[in-house]
Amino acid sequence: MVIDPVLLRTFLAVADSGGFSEAARRLRLGQSTVSQHVRRLESLVGRELFVRDTHRVALTGDGEAMTGFARDILDRQDRAIRYFARPEPRGRIRLGVCEDLVLSRLPELLRRFRGDHPLVDLELTVELSGVLHDRLTEGKLDLAFAKRGPDDSAGLPVWSDSLSWAGAPGLCLDPDEPVPLVVYPEPSITRARALDTLRRNGFRWRIACTCTHLNGLRAAVLAGLGVGLFATSMVPHGLTAPAAPLPDPGSVVFGLSSRRPLTHGPIAALSALIRAHPWTPSPVPAH
């Protein structure tokens, strides 16, 4: 059974005004049309909704029940109409972000985006940069905001940051022993950079600890298990440069990649906000 909202509005007009003639005046309809609407509604539900006589029109028990249902149905319909009539962008964005960024200014950015686009839902994936790039290629993400590999020219550079070795305060590295490393598992861009830097400069190393999360890396480094490599502006609290000199690992670029050209819509809006956000004091010049 499908009830026409017009019938419900007419029914409520009669119930609220106490008569067919007054309801017809309020609705700017003929009284016969109002009576027809009520008869059709009663026929649909199989119940008498009004008691009619020459002096009055009163709701039956079923009519009292129908007023609640009618108001609820019409209220939901009105809310749906208002929702879809709003001009704001809507939809869902599958955003992938490397963990370094999650612990910096990402909450501030997401709060601002939600304020500007309250009808856009976010599906946030936090992973290693290499994993995010793979998922973007597989079509599992709409945007990937992560470190770029040394040979990766895809996407838009957002900023660059130098890389720094970090260890527990007072950590001493034995020059005769391999450098103990605390790293992400493969495919990690900073892990690859750490190994390549040590290899090119004649250093031996060993993987002392592997962890998939930044908090785990920090705990392992802080415990003195080894040294880690981090973006300089994001070296976890409590870690310091190791006393023994290690080769310069260079810098890393954080970039924004998408599945399709960003021209309009909520994905383009989020991309523009990410690129304009003050992530670090050293932004990458636009290409």
- The model's pLDDT over 29-59, given as tens digits with 9 standing for 90+, comes to 999 999 999 999 999 999 999 998 766 789 9
> Do 130 and 265 fall within a single domain?
yes
> Which of 85, 119, 141 lies at the terminal end of a domain, its last residue?
85
Whether residue 283 has pLDDT greater than 60: no
pLDDT recorded at residue 226: 93
pLDDT recorded at residue 117: 84
How many Å apart are CA 47 and CA 41, to the nearest integer?
Answer: 9
> Do 134 and 266 fall within a single domain?
yes
Task: Determine, yes or no, domain membership for 97.
Answer: yes
Whether residue 229 has pLDDT greater than 70: yes
Task: Determine, yes or no, domain membership for 281.
Answer: no
> Do 189 and 265 fall within a single domain?
no
> Do 130 and 181 fall within a single domain?
no
pLDDT recorded at residue 207: 96
Query: Which of 79-93, 168-182, 232-246 is the least confident region?
Result: 79-93
Percent of the chain, pLDDT > 90? 48
> Do 194 and 212 fall within a single domain?
yes
What is the token pair recorded at 26? 């309020």
> Do 118 and 142 fall within a single domain?
yes
> Which of 85, 118, 145 lies at the terminal end of a domain, its last residue?
85
Render pLDDT for 135-160 as a digit per residue (tens, 0 to 9). Answer: 998 999 999 998 886 666 667 888 88
Instruction: Report the domain count for the chain.
Output: 3
pLDDT recorded at residue 97: 92
> Which of 68, 85, 102 lies at the terminal end of a domain, its last residue?
85
Task: Determine, yes or no, domain membership for 284.
Answer: no
At position 177, the amino acid (one-letter code) is: E
CB 191 within 8 A of CB 183: yes
Q: How many CB atoms neighbour CB 14 within 10 A?
A: 27
Render pLDDT for 119-135 as a digit per residue (tens, 0 to 9). Answer: 888 999 998 888 898 99
- Who wins on pLDDT, 281 or 108? 108
- Who wins on pLDDT, 257 or 151? 257
Whether residue 204 has pLDDT greater than 80: yes
pLDDT recorded at residue 115: 85
How many Å apart are CA 219 and CA 205, to the nearest integer?
Answer: 20
Domain of residue 188, residue span = 162-252
> Do 260 and 133 fall within a single domain?
yes
CATH code of the domain covering residue 102: 3.40.190.10
Residue 257's DSSP bridge partners are: 144
Task: Determine, yes or no, domain membership for 282.
Answer: no
> Do 214 and 79 fall within a single domain?
no
Task: Determine, yes or no, domain membership for 180.
Answer: yes
> Do 232 and 104 fall within a single domain?
no
pLDDT recorded at residue 90: 64
CATH code of the domain covering residue 35: 1.10.10.10
pLDDT recorded at residue 151: 64
